[in-house]
Amino acid sequence: MPGPDSRIYVAGHTGLAGSAICRRLEAVGYRNLILRTHADLDLTDERAVERFFAAERPSHVILAAAKVGGIAANAAFPTEFLSVNLRIAANVIDSAWRHGAAKLLYLASSCIYPRLTPQPIREEALLSGALEPTNEAYAIAKIAGLKLCQAYRRQHGFDAIVAMPTNLYGPHDRFDAESSHVLPALLRRFHEAKEAGAPDVTVWGSGTPRRDFLHADDLATACLAMLRGYSDAMPVNIGSGSDISIRELAELIADIVGYRGAIHFDPSRPDGTPEKRLDITRITALDWYPAIDLRRGIEQTYRWYRENCARETATV
């Protein structure tokens, strides 16, 4: 278990998950976080990663860095989603083990489960069926990262553990219209429609797919619970325990933003997997429960968006 002076490297600390994990680590008294921006350390550069680990020798590593994006970005850039994420996982996991890290937590994703699988999805469903084509490249890279963790554990006794977060949202997310995930995309679209007095807003797909949304701050407390109390090859789902349709999400966001116009659905856009709700029995056995209800979490994220991005994105 890491102590307050443990040297903890959080890879991806500027992103949605990584920034929440850093906030949490600092809030509970960890004083020795090791952080590098993308400009300072390119995690796809094997030699640079090796040099960094040789110099810093972190005792704990949280691998929250990844090339991520929503359904459209995944479908449009499979090369980057596969290649970049494979290289990040291979470089960081190998260097962490080679330079004596005591523990590594790898963040995988709920999209690595089969497209059609019993709900709520248990960890045992991994590799039991075909993947969702719209995010196959990302999923294959994340499955490879997970398998690397299991391989280093089995072959070298390296304490690498794997979390499977559901669809995350919160501050420090990306809110660009085309390549972001659904929740930030809709927050921005409804906000801009309200500001412009637009009569309607278009939401992609049929509105029927169901998703399990978790605030990144809840993910962060789950990651700490795993760092402190989990050491096993089996990955651990981290979800909210419930789900909501995209139509219901759009209506909730419209209500929070205060948008009163019409909502249209565009069936020419992909739906992705029809449902994706995680079984959270394993993580709740570590005495973790989600604390942030969806409406409150979206309200807080919307405040953050208005304070940090709304002016900037309005001019794009």
Find residue 55's DSSP bridge partners. none
Number of Cβ within a 10 Å radius of residue 141: 27
- In angstroms, give the least distance from the CB of 186 to ligand GDP: 6
Number of Cβ within a 10 Å radius of residue 293: 12
Pairing outcome for strands 167-169 and 213-215: parallel
Nearer to ligand GDP, 11 or 131 (CB): 131
- In angstroms, give the least distance from the CB of 249 to ligand GDP: 8
User: Which residue in 106, 138, 169, 302 is the catalytic one?
Assistant: 138
Element (H, E) at 247: helix 246-257
Nearer to ligand GDP, 22 or 203 (CB): 203
- In angstroms, give the least distance from the CB of 24 to ligand GDP: 23
Nearer to ligand GDP, 48 or 177 (CB): 177
Cβ-contact 292, 164 below 8 angstroms: no
The binding site for ligand GDP (CB under 6 A) comprises 70-72, 111, 135, 167, 181-182, 185-186, 203-205, 209, 211, 246, 269-272
Nearer to ligand GDP, 85 or 135 (CB): 135
- In angstroms, give the least distance from the CB of 148 to ligand GDP: 22
Nearer to ligand GDP, 181 or 191 (CB): 181
Tokens of 150: 């299991």
User: How far is the C-alpha of 233 from the C-alpha of 4, rounded, in Å?
Assistant: 26
- In angstroms, give the least distance from the CB of 214 to ligand GDP: 12
C-alpha to C-alpha distances, 78 to 46, 58, 63, 66, 136, nearest whole angstrom = 21, 32, 21, 14, 8
Cβ-contact 240, 290 below 8 angstroms: yes
Would you call 30 a catalytic residue per the annotation? no
Q: Which residue is nearest to ligand GDP (CB)?
A: 70
Those residues whose C-beta lies under 8 Å from the C-beta of residue 203, and which sit 6 or more positions away, are: 186, 189, 246, 247, 250, 263, 264, 265, 266
Active site residues: 138
